[in-house]
Structure 1
Amino acid sequence: MSVVGFDFGNESCYIAVARAGGIETIANDFSQRQTPSCVAFGPKNRLLGVAAKNQQVTNLKNTVVNFKRLMGRKYRDPHVTRVLADLPNTFVETEDGGVGVKVQYMGEDAVFRPEQLTAMLFTKLKETAEAALKIKVVDVVISVPCFFTDAERRALLDAAQMAGLNVLRLMNETTATALAYGIYKQDLPAAEEPPRNVVFVDCGQSAVQAAICAFNKGKLKVLSTSWDTTAGGAEFDRLLTDHFVAEFRTKYRVDAEKNARARLRLATECAKLKKQMSANSTRLPINIECFMEDKDVSGYMERATFEEMAAPLLTAVGAALRRCLENSGLATSDIYAVEIVGGGSRVPAIKGLIEQVFGHSPSTTLNQDEAVARGCALQCAMLSPTFKVREFSVTDLQPYPIRLLWETGDMEIFPRNHEVSFSKMLTFHQVEPFTITCKYSGDIPYPDPFIGSFTVQNVTPGADGESQKVKVKVRINIHGVFTVASATLLERVEEAPAPAGDATTTPMETDPAAAPAAEQGGPAADGTADGDRDTSPPSDAAMETDAAKPETPADSKEQGDVKKDKVKVRKTELPVETVVPGMSPREVGSLTEKEGQMIASDKQEKDRQASACPVWPGYITAICTEQDSKNAVEEYVYDLRSRLQDDLAEFERDEVKTSINAELDTTENWLYEEGEECLKHVYIDRLADLKKLGEPIKNRLREFGERPGALEALSASIQQCDKAVNAYRADDQRYAHLDTAEIEKVEKHLTEKRQWLDKNLGTLCNLAKTQDPPTSAQQIWAEKQAFENLVNPILNKPKPKPPKVEEPPAADKPEEKPAEKPADANMDVE
């Protein structure tokens, strides 16, 4: 059984798996831990994750991002309208009022729902997990924002089903973070002691979330949550982008609003600038070459100015944090610590707000990017029978109040911040089928409060025409989804007592109460019935607290002689017709089949390319089609340009980087002009020319990282050999069996290798990062291996075996007497 956790983010995803050594975040086929939440469509196949993101600029209309924010939403939703305004794709309204994105796929127009795009991304994550674990992945735990509504959670479950995944739990992101934090703590207070209250703030790309959790030994309980969907990291990026669009319009007379590709490039650079401002308070530049109309643009921004621009967003973040504290009923003195995760948590202004609201400096003990995925993998391990995990209960909460309505009344069945998962049993008295409508009450981030309608069927009047008692079990399951779990008709049947000695059986149960029916149409007299909290794995059992009243003397008098008859209750399960927003099971099944066909088509195209690829010499990867060759050139241009400003910046001189960037810009323009339609070998030659520029710089970075380890390993081998020689000279018995000639041979090799190391070590230590190393890390490892091959056979030479001692003749040996048999024949003597 697979034990996998997916952190499904708006911008990127992370995969964590449970192994014998603990929880591990795995890398994808590009050796990156994060996989972009990006799906692209081509003429022959789909591109998912990193590959889709790399060609986003050139395939803008057919590359889709930000679809997580569209899950379970309607096309005319104001939230959807705001999200679509920033996306360059073509969106349409589907037949059921949902959102569809129109793209070119396999040479034809196609419309895909956000649920289908999510399923495609899950397919990629599933393949990555299977490649790492070497087993088929089915069971997973997936993260969701704590503010997701019932419709959004159902849409995510549908998407996982299309990808062939069995979701053990949809886990709130803040709860997953809390689990990753608390399960390893050994100093949590005991159950009878006051809990340790910890705040978790998740500043993601699409929203800011906060949760306050109470920890006891082996127990986690979420006390309150809050959020703001208008103050995520994307909003800060948009603020910077709009600022520079206006500045460049005035300064350079170019309007990026009219060029989707230019705006995307600007947004990418603004996201990098925001990260740089988190670490630097000085004035920072932004430079983009060949931005529009062959014009280079540049600008400046400093942290103080940016914070002034972002004041409304920061105010919204502070309000969300204060709301979380107020809902918990705690004071700042009750807070033990504040943990922050998410990319936006690195913004100094947000850190200052957190300290101002909660009175504690934010702590970063958790991995800010991978904590959610690790928490999901831990929850999956707790639900899996194949892993033994320390007992640690997790109690989440429902952020919105839920109200039930029926023909004759309504009731708030689950108040705000009610624990999840939870079941309640309600009693209705009806004479005909009836419908229960479930809605959210209060303020929710969704224009339609409707959750679903549930019609209990096959209800008929009793034999005397009176109403029948119907038990309806409602619950919020482990995914945070509201359901009507069951409906049971309870019929009172009176039977004459059986004659003495007649032991007949009946499927009916005795009703010791025989209480009169309540008024028709309403629930049980107490209105709400208590329930029991579900455990992991969830149990459908619920506690029924609306039991009938005990029999009174007045009731006995009215019954007269009938009291000797037995009153029994016959239970009949009733069908419940469910109507909820979203896709029907038939639609989900059809889209699941379609996803399988697209997976097969992608695999077929990949196999075709692999079989048709020639083997090219050198470092150039074989590229099979003209489109793939062009994409490879384009990906290399964007990758090298980005890395020259990031991890490769220190490994090349500025003047050389300028010339390389000019060549990259020239190549990029060529791709969109005369290089739009070329033969495969033209793209391959172009890629070879670019790699002659970029690979030496990448090699310096690689050597800079690998060289210290290689030198340390060689030095350790020399030191170990030197200790062995000195031990021989000191008459150490471990080496007494070695000849002097052998030790002299070892000393000769030792001297040569020490001289070689000293010579190269001085050169390499004084080597500038922009210079090619005269000796590579691979050569150092080869020298180490060659040295050990020469000296280890001598130093590890086994000692000669001691001479055998001759045994005395057989006649001199004492005669061995056979063991006597015990008196008990059933006892064996060993």
Structure 2
Amino acid sequence: MSVIGIDLGAQSTKVGVARNKGIDILTNEVSNRSTPSLVGFGPKSRYLGEAAKTQEVSNLKNTVGSLKRLIGRTASDPDVLAEQEYNTVAFCDVEGQAGVEVSYLGKKEKFSATQLVAMYLNKIKHTASHEIKLGVSDVVISVPAWFTDVQRRAMLDAADIAGLKALRLINDTTAIALGYGITKLDLPGPEEKPRRVAFVDIGASNYTVSIVEFRKGELNVKATAWDRHFGGRNFDKALTEHFADEFKEKFKIDIRTNPKAWARTLAAAEKLKKVLSANAQAPLSIESLMDDIDVRAMVKREEMQDMVKPLLDRISVPLEQALAEAKLKVEDIDHIEMVGGCTRVPVIKETVANFFGKPLSFTLNQDEAIARGCTFSCAILSPVFRVRDFAVHDIVNYPIEFTWEQSPEIPDEDTSLTVFNKGNVLPSTKILTFYRRQPFDLEARYVKPEALPGKVNPWIGRFSVKGVQAQENNEFMICKLKARLNLHGILNVESGYYVEDVEVEEPIEEPKEGDKKDSDAMDTDAANGDGEKKTRKVKKQVRKGELPISSGTGALEEVTKNAWGEKENAMIMEDKLVADTDEKKNELEAYIYELRDKVETTYAEFSSEEEKEKLRAKLTDSEDWLYEEGEDTTKAIYVSKMEEIRFIAGPIIQRYMDKIEAERQAALQAQQEAVAKKRAEQEAKRKAEEDAKKPAEAAKPEGADAEMKDAPAAEGEVADKE
């Protein structure tokens, strides 16, 4: 069994595996340690990961990015509409979720964001399985800290469709903190002042800050703040906007009207940004960008900083918010760990360092820290590995309340209660008590809708409590409901039961000898005259039975999930058939070229001119067919074409193989004969030596044996044994 951690990023994904007493980051089919988070669709198959990136510019309208920023959202959400800036594909509504409309297998198809993420996770699963030579099932997946209940449920649904069992959805910065803390052997003890670390994570599209306290064997997240629209891609866009204006003025082309030109400039701007992180200035050059015009430009680091000035003004906001929520000051922070590709930008490092007034730490791998933390979390939760005990205490980022209808019999009853406050430890369980005579419903929702990302519905779920009825004497049934925010950060009312108040007698604890005072010296007999201990009557609630609960949440309905799962399996088979067909096509093409060469060289002496001519003609016909009618056909036809060539070439190849086999047998026989000859020579030599010793023994005088019996054998002689 494998232990896998997945850092599902907006731009790229990293996968970690626990092995060799450590964490390895896996490479994909082109040996890259990160895989583009893209899904593309074509006339014959899908393109996932690296394949999608390769054809992205030529297939913009059918290639989807921003996968984790779409999942769990609606098509009308402002955040989804904002993602249209970074995607040329058409967004639409699918089963109430954000989705895309693409051209797939020659027709228009709609796929929800959950399906798209499932497709991508399936690709990641197969890449990991191929790399580690094991099946992949149990995983831990990272999600942004600002993900809501419905987004987290959608991620679990996507994992289910992909055939993965998500042991935990872990917040990005929490995963980073786990990877940081679990390897530290110098953390303070339980009674000492905790080590406080600020983790600043700036990726492609998201900026998150977490303040975390570390003690030996545990971490406690104190506060998390974020800017959901700040990341490397915003820098890329600012540069691209600048180049669009420059190219329009200098080269008289408007890349804003040409999606392909815009995409190529955006990609070039991303590379330029990375070069400027290490150099004072950098060139940009794109050949035949638009209307056959080559473009060139030079940008200085200071110029880029001026372009992104509005972005830089936002850097301190999450830092201040996180400190305020943690009730800490700048001087209380011991270390500032920088993570994420965008933290390499010098002006960002400078701004964060100035805010805290102390040097920054870069002890973690900026690109792979989240994947490593996810893998550690999976190893902790999996029974396969033994890992150092390390407790992870995350926090609730959005307060949650339950609401219900007021009971007619309790006119002054409250109808809402905030059960999980912001900052509460996660996972967490709360017991709710209700007094009812009939079944009732309650709803869970977020208290502050304005704090949620975009326009996410604050409604979380509806829970119907069954089996409630009046007790004897028309008394209320005392109903207890167990509400839990689990490891994933998902809310459920897990169980319900009812209790009764029962009077029970419990013994009164006797005071210990040392606790007695002199004034109580006469009360030394703590028992009654008959020796029984004193007791008192108390009321206790005793569990009497279960209350069934039916739930309605933002998770996919089982029917829909099964349908999407079947659709995914069908697309996997379609992709496999296309891949197998391409393999057979390439095999046929390679076989034609190989035979054409060998018929003139290797096989020349094993075929007549007539056979050669017939084979040459067949190879030429097959090649012409391959590049005309055979350009796009079925796997079976490629196989049959290969068999036709083999039918003609078979006798020639067989003769060649017969000669090779005869030569092999002759060489083997010669080798055997040589071995037999050597053995015979050795045997003859041994026999000759034995014959030479016999006359010497016969010439010994009588009594020589008796005289030398007790003497030690001289060197080179053999002593006789009695």
Fold-level match, TM-score > 0.5?
yes
Q: How far 1:568 moved relative to its partner?
A: 8.6
Q: How far 1:111 moved relative to its partner?
A: 0.4
Residue type of the alignment partner of 2:496: A
The alignment partner of 1:223 has SS state of: strand
Distance 1:805 1:224 in 2: 92
Counterpart in 2 of 1:418?
424
Distance 1:304 1:406 in 2: 58
For residue 478 of structure 1, the aligned residue among 479, 482, 487 is: 487
Gaps of 5+ in 1: 493-509, 515-562, 622-676, 684-802, 811-830
Residue type of the alignment partner of 1:174: T
Q: 1:115 to 1:808 in 2, by over 3 A?
A: farther
Counterpart in 2 of 1:611?
584
Q: 1:682 to 1:454 in 2, by over 3 A?
A: closer
Q: 1:428 to 1:565 in 2, by over 3 A?
A: closer
Residue type of the alignment partner of 2:574: S
Tell me, yes or no, if the aligned pair for 1:354 and 1:360 is still in contact at 8 Å: no
Matched, 1:320 2:328: no
Residue deviations 1:489-530 (CA, integer Å, cap 9, x gap): 2356xxxxxxxxxxxxxxxxx66399xxxxxxxxxxxxxxxx
Distance 2:578 2:158 in 1: 24
Counterpart in 2 of 1:196?
195
Distance 1:805 1:141 in 2: 77
Distance 1:185 1:310 in 2: 37
Tell me, yes or no, if the aligned pair for 2:499 and 2:542 is still in contact at 8 Å: yes
Counterpart in 1 of 2:465?
456
Matched, 1:72 2:72: yes
Distance 1:358 1:40 in 2: 43
Residue type of the alignment partner of 1:322: E
Q: How far 1:615 moved relative to its partner?
A: 5.8
Residue deviations 1:332-380 (CA, integer Å, cap 9, x gap): 2221111111110101111112112222222111111111101111111
Distance 2:539 2:400 in 1: 40
Q: 1:237 to 1:804 in 2, by over 3 A?
A: farther
Q: How far 1:17 moved relative to its partner?
A: 0.2
For residue 375 of structure 1, the aligned residue among 364, 373, 376 is: 373
Q: How far 1:95 moved relative to its partner?
A: 4.2
Tell me, yes or no, if the aligned pair for 1:231 and 1:314 is still in contact at 8 Å: no
Counterpart in 2 of 1:512?
504
Q: How does 1:351-366 map to 2 (within 5 A)?
A: 351-366=349-364
Distance 1:156 1:93 in 2: 18
Counterpart in 2 of 1:11?
11
Q: 1:424 to 1:682 in 2, by over 3 A?
A: closer
Counterpart in 2 of 1:85?
85
Residue type of the alignment partner of 1:474: A
Residue type of the alignment partner of 1:134: K
Distance 1:511 1:143 in 2: 50
Residue type of the alignment partner of 1:594: K
Residue type of the alignment partner of 1:113: S
Distance 1:281 1:567 in 2: 75
Q: How does 1:250-289 map to 2 (within 5 A)?
A: 250-282=249-281, 284-289=282-287
Tell me, yes or no, if the aligned pair for 1:474 and 1:482 is still in contact at 8 Å: yes
Residue deviations 1:563-593 (CA, integer Å, cap 9, x gap): 9999994532222222222521221121112
Q: How does 1:386-401 map to 2 (within 5 A)?
A: 386-401=384-399
Q: 1:573 to 1:57 in 2, by over 3 A?
A: same
Q: 1:89 to 1:511 in 2, by over 3 A?
A: farther
Q: 1:352 to 1:564 in 2, by over 3 A?
A: closer
Residue type of the alignment partner of 2:67: F
Report the number of matched residues.
568
Q: Report sequence identity in percent.
A: 42
Q: How far 1:260 moved relative to its partner?
A: 0.8
Matched, 1:599 2:591: no
Distance 1:177 1:565 in 2: 50
Distance 1:568 1:367 in 2: 54
The alignment partner of 2:472 has SS state of: coil
Distance 1:237 1:568 in 2: 63
Counterpart in 2 of 1:590?
563
Counterpart in 2 of 1:292?
290
Q: How far 1:470 moved relative to its partner?
A: 0.5
Tell me, yes or no, if the aligned pair for 1:142 and 1:376 is still in contact at 8 Å: yes
Q: How far 1:425 moved relative to its partner?
A: 0.8
Residue type of the alignment partner of 1:7: D
Q: What TM-score does the superposition give when structure 1 sets the normalisation length?
A: 0.65
Counterpart in 1 of 2:170?
171
The alignment partner of 1:588 has SS state of: helix
Q: How far 1:84 moved relative to its partner?
A: 1.8
Tell me, yes or no, if the aligned pair for 2:403 and 2:443 is still in contact at 8 Å: yes
For residue 447 of structure 2, the aligned residue among 432, 441, 450 is: 441
Matched, 1:248 2:254: no
Counterpart in 1 of 2:344?
346
Residue deviations 1:243-296 (CA, integer Å, cap 9, x gap): 2112222222211121111110010011111111111223x3222111111112
Distance 2:223 2:401 in 1: 20
Counterpart in 2 of 1:402?
400
Counterpart in 1 of 2:60?
60
Q: More strand by proportion, 1 or 2?
A: 2
For residue 467 of structure 1, the aligned residue among 473, 476, 489 is: 476
Residue type of the alignment partner of 1:159: A
Tell me, yes or no, if the aligned pair for 1:269 and 1:286 is still in contact at 8 Å: yes
Q: How far 1:184 moved relative to its partner?
A: 1.1
Counterpart in 2 of 1:36?
36
Q: 1:590 to 1:304 in 2, by over 3 A?
A: same
The alignment partner of 2:385 has SS state of: coil
Q: What TM-score does the superposition give when structure 2 sets the normalisation length?
A: 0.75
Q: How far 1:610 moved relative to its partner?
A: 2.2
Of structures 1 and 2, the larger Rg is shown by 2
Q: How does 1:694-713 map to 2 (within 5 A)?
A: none
Q: 1:513 to 1:234 in 2, by over 3 A?
A: farther
Tell me, yes or no, if the aligned pair for 1:72 and 1:582 is still in contact at 8 Å: no
How large is the Cα RMSD of the aligned pairs?
Answer: 2.7
Q: How does 1:58-207 map to 2 (within 5 A)?
A: 58-96=58-96, 98-207=97-206
Of 357-366 and 260-269, the range deviating more from structure 2: 357-366
Q: How far 1:806 moved relative to its partner?
A: 8.4
Counterpart in 1 of 2:46?
46
Q: How far 1:155 moved relative to its partner?
A: 0.7
Q: How far 1:19 moved relative to its partner?
A: 0.7
Distance 1:446 1:807 in 2: 102
The alignment partner of 1:484 has SS state of: strand
Counterpart in 2 of 1:760?
none
Residue type of the alignment partner of 1:63: T
Tell me, yes or no, if the aligned pair for 1:354 and 1:361 is still in contact at 8 Å: no
Q: 1:195 to 1:564 in 2, by over 3 A?
A: closer
Q: How does 1:360-759 map to 2 (within 5 A)?
A: 360-408=358-406, 409-442=415-448, 443-447=451-455, 448-491=457-500, 512=504, 569=542, 571-614=544-587
Distance 2:539 2:265 in 1: 81
Q: How far 1:598 moved relative to its partner?
A: 1.3
Tell me, yes or no, if the aligned pair for 2:497 and 2:543 is still in contact at 8 Å: no
Distance 2:126 2:631 in 1: 33
Tell me, yes or no, if the aligned pair for 1:230 and 1:313 is still in contact at 8 Å: no
Distance 1:90 1:314 in 2: 31
Q: 1:171 to 1:808 in 2, by over 3 A?
A: farther
Distance 2:124 2:540 in 1: 58
Q: How far 1:394 moved relative to its partner?
A: 1.0
Tell me, yes or no, if the aligned pair for 2:119 and 2:568 is still in contact at 8 Å: yes
Tell me, yes or no, if the aligned pair for 2:503 and 2:537 is still in contact at 8 Å: no
Tell me, yes or no, if the aligned pair for 2:175 and 2:373 is still in contact at 8 Å: yes
Tell me, yes or no, if the aligned pair for 1:43 and 1:104 is still in contact at 8 Å: yes
